[in-house]
Amino acid sequence: MKQFPVTLNFPVHWGDMDSLHHVNNAKYLTWFESARIELFRQVGIITDRPSSVGPILATTTCDFLKPVVWPAKVVVGVRVPRIGNTSFTTEYGVSLENDPENLVARGTGVIVLVNYETGEKVRVSDDIRQKIDRLTS
């Protein structure tokens, strides 16, 4: 998980599992979301109060590599490998807390900054770019 500058730890709850006795696939996307919001917080993207400009998740993927079962604790990490003009790509990794170097899932996302009032895309500011760069250096 060293390659992910932002990480969060989560306990796996009994209710996170599905009828096949492993963590339900939707839970991984919730973990990704929590990591993404922490990334936003660290780079100054406003998500906790009304703002005219903010992030939209345009796409997301998840590759399930190994099943996770209760009881367990997971570590979820996020990084930004690419920043475009109005968007940036996120990459996620999920590992078991007691085995952080072996991923049990990985994913991606594309975040677009949008003016909520006009619906227009907005350029990723130099300030946000610099804060993302500082996270990864």
pLDDT digits 0-9 by tens, 59-73: 999 999 999 999 999
CATH 3.10.129.10 fits 6-136, yes or no: yes
* CA–CA gap between residue 123 and residue 83 (Å, rounded): 10
* CA–CA gap between residue 27 and residue 85 (Å, rounded): 31
Check: CB of residue 75 under 8 Å from CB of residue 95: yes
Beta strands in the chain (DSSP E): 6-11, 53-64, 73-83, 87-96, 99-115
The ranges assigned to domains in the chain are 6-136
pLDDT in tens, 107-135: 999 999 999 999 999 999 999 999 999 98
The model carries a pTM of 0.94
Dihedral sign, Cα of residue 37, residue 38, residue 43, residue 47: positive
